[in-house]
Amino acid sequence: MTVPSPLDDAQLQYEASPYPPRDPRDEAIRLITGTPSHILEINHYLFSGRLNFNRPFRALIAGGGTGDACIMLAQQLAERKCPAEIVYLDVSETARRICEARAHARGLRNIHFLTGSLLDLPAADVGAFDYIDCTGVLHHLPDPAAGLRALSSVLQPDGGVGVMLFGQYGRSGVYPLQELLRTLAPPTMAVEDRVAIAKRLIRFLPTTNLFRRNPYLNDHVTGGDAGLYDLLLQNCDRAFTVPQISALAQQAGLRVVAFLEPVRYEPATYMSDPVIARQASALPMLERAAFAERLSGNLRTHVFYATRAGFDTVARPEDTSAIPVLREMDAQKFAAGLQHGTPLVANLDGFPWRAQLPALAARIVAQIDGRRSVAEIYTSLGALGGLPRWEDFYTQFEDLYVKLNGVNHMLLRFRP
Ligand SMILES: C[S@@+](CC[C@H](N)C(=O)[O-])C[C@H]1O[C@@H](n2cnc3c(N)ncnc32)[C@H](O)[C@@H]1O
């Protein structure tokens, strides 16, 4: 594939200052894991937990940037000895070099690097993919729908995508500030001057300004100058609501199967009035998600999985041969922390979430080893004495699953 010429403003900026900034030397000390594209999530949401890692698996990381998703997935597939090929694609040579250096530092040999635009995929000879990651890219394209259609054109019929797009309500305050900066610091100015003016403007915003009143926008602080540019100086940047995402997916022949983390997309998370919570909770999944984003107002990004398959691709706990897996957590330590009825708490971008876990939570969690199924966990609890009735156990397991899966701690898989 060839780099489209000339590069547009956003592409030139990513070329000059790849985002997010990453140092390949850090691979020696940690693996960055995230959402989407964690192998446990791909398996759970797009392949019903039934991926067979002995079979070939092809993934495309479209707009791979400095490589977080690419490195995470390549590492996870390598650890499972999967005969996988990850294709990394980005218009930026600089970003590609950083991802290549990260792969080299880890000794990963399952990545094939390409430079070019994802818009050229339909005509490119790249084959079909089981999975495509595209995070933080489509909302910078002049026509995001054309971008998603281009990705869908190289997806296997039963394949799926993991996408991150900006969220409209949570980015409240961003777009008026972007417009101010288009007047004060137009794209014709040098990038350093534009960044300097943006910093001055932010420092002196009136207390009533929407950007200043949105405390959850912090990329300009945590991401340095590249983060500031990405948040405020992109020429092409738009944000989406849940219904708009659903429509975008449909135009590309895709169906949204989940938004992550699930608890953020449940109205009951934010609503203590039982009548309103019950009414909203009865809605279908996409309507609940749309209700939740309007209610919470703080969803700055939307991560979703969507599939081309015409059948249910999400692993469900009703099949008791499901194997619960804890994500990046030590089951014994977690179980120890759950003794004495300690509630599960999470900070959902400023919203304090708290869930009471069932009485058996600590005992169940202590039995989760990524190999035992739900039915086998019940049997091993029995071996430890004081076996509850199956119905009681299963009701409590389901309650625990909904809460832990809700904050992305627990996923399911099946033996292939
Ligand atoms: C905000 S970065 C996100 C990088 C990465 N996906 C991540 O989440 O860390 C956006 C990336 O998309 C790339 N990009 C922009 N337009 C593209 C296009 N048409 N085709 C492929 N990559 C593109 C940029 O070069 C940049 O590396």
Give the pLDDT score at 10. Answer: 57
pLDDT given for residue 340 in this prediction: 75
Going from the Cα of 184 to the center of ligand 1, the distance in angstroms, rounded, reads 26
Q: Report the number of secondary-structure helices (H) and strands (E) in the chain.
A: 17, 11
Q: Please report the pLDDT score of residue 223 as a whole number.
A: 81
132 lines ligand 1 (CB under 6 A): no
pLDDT at 13: 66
Residue 248 tokens read as: 């975008």
Q: Answer yes or no: is the C-beta of 92 below 6 A from any ligand 1 atom.
A: yes
pLDDT, tens digit, for every residue of 361-371? 999 999 999 99
The residue whose CA has the least distance to atom 14 of ligand 1 is: 63
Per-residue burial over 376-406, b if 16 or more Cβ lie within 10 Å, else e, is ebbeebeeeeeebeeeebbebbebbbebbbb
Calculate how far, in angstroms, residue 382's C-alpha sits from the geometric centre of ligand 1: 51
Sort residue 220 into left (φ over 0), alpha (ψ -120 to 50) or beta: alpha
| pLDDT < 70 regions, the chain | 1-13, 16
From 137, 154, 163, give the residue whose CB has the most ligand 1 atoms within 8 Å, as the site to mutate: 137
How confident is the model at residue 261, as a pLDDT?
96
